[in-house]
């Protein structure tokens, strides 16, 4: 079952703050709205410190202290995750909601064969017999296309390559067929070929099981292939959200275009979208991107832009969005 309007995950007006003594609370998320449909993979892209992991943690109900969810709602299949008690949340985590993070070796138990690690998750969460759990685990090793799965079942993590270990982590995350998968920078340590194989696989599996996927990355280029939609986050705010095609053919936010230009081999394009001179005073309440924005105008530092629709399914937070394709 999903929410009343078909979203598997529906985050609305989510605020997360990190209070610090003697200073103002740092708002890591400032009113984030995000919806993901079953079977949909949405890419969340933003630079370091923009709030991606904080959003992932807030969805899972695991904001690290002293951080707090200050406002907002996280509906998962129609249930408000922010209102669940610890026990109810534990029952949902792992079974219906799974997270894939980088550094697979740190995730895996070094002294337990990898097949058994997958099998344990099935055994504890699905209430099946040990034999059945082992069978499910072997199926998962096949599904994530580990060669010679019968033999690999008994392998220890150090006997696997980084790509194979990441596949095992994905197998663990997906063994209970969760309805929401969050991948937080999970493939960034892998080489490009292995990375696209692992992502292909993740994409096939989430489609097959109609899971909703939040794919977090700093690499905007990779989302073009694997995500149906893209959300760009800057300083705790979604600044642009669109269908992948619409986003890549006609990006509107100056920050999105700056990110895209950074991948271009054309230095003139990069220079055109990168502001080099000093920011000048930015009034609180203005656009957070103003100090770095090449299109900044006086209104930008006086009034915060709101997210508004530029085209069907394409929303942008900017007073002076770019109209033409970059």
Q: Say whether residue 103 binds Mg ion (CB under 5 A).
A: no
Partnered with residue 96 across adjacent β-strands are: none
Burial of 22 (0-12, 13-18, 19+ CB in 10 A): exposed
Q: Under the criterion CB under 6 A, does residue 319 sit at the interface with ligand SF4?
A: yes
The runs of H, that is alpha helices, within the chain are 52-60, 86-92, 104-107, 114-126, 130-143, 149-153, 162-174, 192-208, 220-226, 244-249, 254-262, 267-272
The number of C-alpha atoms within 13 Å of 80 and in the hemisphere containing its C-beta is: 8
Residue 185 CB, shortest distance to ligand ATP, in Å, is: 6
Candidates 45-53, 150-158, 172-180, 188-196 — which segment interacts with ligand ATP by CB under 6 A? 45-53
Closest distance to ligand ATP from the beta carbon of 237 (Å) = 12
- Of 218, 215, 180, 220, nearest to 200 by C-alpha is 215
Question: By rule CB under 6 A, what string of x and - marks binding of each residue 198-237 to ligand ATP?
Answer: --------------------x-------------------
Number of residues that bind ligand SF4 (CB under 6 A): 12
Please tell me the distance from the alpha carbon of residue 271 to that of residue 293, in angstroms, as a whole number.
Answer: 12
Piece of the chain touching ligand ATP by CB under 6 A; list 47-55, 260-268, 291-299, 315-323: 47-55
Nearer to ligand SF4, 83 or 311 (CB): 311
With a CB cutoff of 8 Å and minimum separation 6, the contacts of 302 are 283, 285, 286
275 binds ligand SF4 per the rule CB under 6 A: no
Residue with the two structure tokens 């920078």: 185
Which of Mg ion, ligand ATP, ligand SF4, none does residue 28 bind (CB under 5 to 8 Å by kind)?
ligand ATP
Q: Which does 64 bind (CB under 5 to 8 A by kind): Mg ion, ligand SF4, ligand ATP, none?
A: ligand ATP
Omega within 30 of 0 (cis) for the link into 66: yes
Q: Are 243 and 314 in contact (CB under 8 A)?
A: yes
Q: Could you tell me the sign of the dihedral formed by the alpha carbons of 103, 144, 220, 303, in that order?
A: negative
Q: Would you count residue 293 as binding ligand SF4 (CB under 6 A)?
A: yes
Rounded CA separation 242/253 (Å): 11
Q: Which stretch binds ligand SF4 (CB under 6 A): 52-60, 244-252, 270-278, 282-290?
A: 282-290
Q: Is the CB of 174 or the CB of 233 nearer to ligand SF4?
A: 233
Q: Which string of x and - marks every residue 22-61 that binds Mg ion (by CB under 5 A)?
A: ------------------------------xx--------
Question: Could you tell which of ligand SF4, ligand ATP, Mg ion, none binds residue 290, using a CB distance below 5 to 8 A set by kind?
Answer: ligand SF4
Residues at the contact surface with ligand ATP, assessed by CB under 6 A:
18, 26, 28, 46, 48-54, 64, 67, 218
């Amino acid at each position: 079952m999903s929410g009343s309007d078909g979203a598997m995950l529906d985050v609305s007006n989510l605020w997360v703050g990190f209070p610090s003594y003697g200073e103002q609370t740092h708002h890591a998320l400032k009113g984030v709205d995000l919806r993901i449909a079953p079977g949909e993979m949405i890419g969340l892209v933003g630079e370091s410190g923009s709030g991606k992991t904080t959003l992932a943690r807030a969805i899972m109900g695991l904001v690290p202290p002293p951080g707090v969810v200050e406002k907002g709602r996280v509906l998962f299949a129609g249930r408000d995750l922010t209102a669940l008690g610890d026990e109810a949340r534990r029952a949902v985590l792992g079974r219906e909601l799974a997270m894939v993070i980088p550094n697979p070796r740190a995730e895996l138990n070094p002294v337990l064969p990898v097949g058994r690690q997958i099998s344990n998750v099935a055994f504890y969460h699905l209430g099946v017999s040990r034999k059945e759990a082992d069978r499910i685990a072997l199926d998962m090793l096949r599904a994530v296309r580990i060669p010679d799965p019968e033999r690999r079942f008994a392998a220890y993590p150090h006997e696997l390559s980084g790509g194979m270990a990441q596949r095992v982590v994905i197998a663990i995350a997906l063994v209970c067929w969760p309805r929401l998968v969050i991948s937080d920078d999970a493939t960034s340590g892998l080489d490009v070929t292995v990375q696209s194989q692992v992502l292909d696989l993740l994409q096939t599996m989430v489609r097959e099981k109609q899971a909703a996927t939040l794919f977090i990355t700093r690499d905007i280029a990779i989302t073009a292939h694997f995500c149906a939609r893209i959300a760009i986050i800057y300083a705790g705010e979604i600044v642009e959200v669109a269908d992948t095609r619409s986003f890549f053919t006609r990006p509107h936010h100056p920050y999105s275009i700056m990110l895209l230009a950074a991948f271009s081999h054309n230095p003139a394009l990069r220079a055109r979208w990168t502001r080099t001179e000093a920011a000048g005073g930015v009034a609180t309440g203005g656009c957070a991107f103003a100090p770095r924005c090449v299109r900044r105008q006086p209104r930008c530092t006086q009034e915060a832009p709101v997210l508004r629709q530029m085209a069907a399914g394409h929303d942008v937070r900017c007073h002076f969005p770019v109209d033409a394709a970059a």
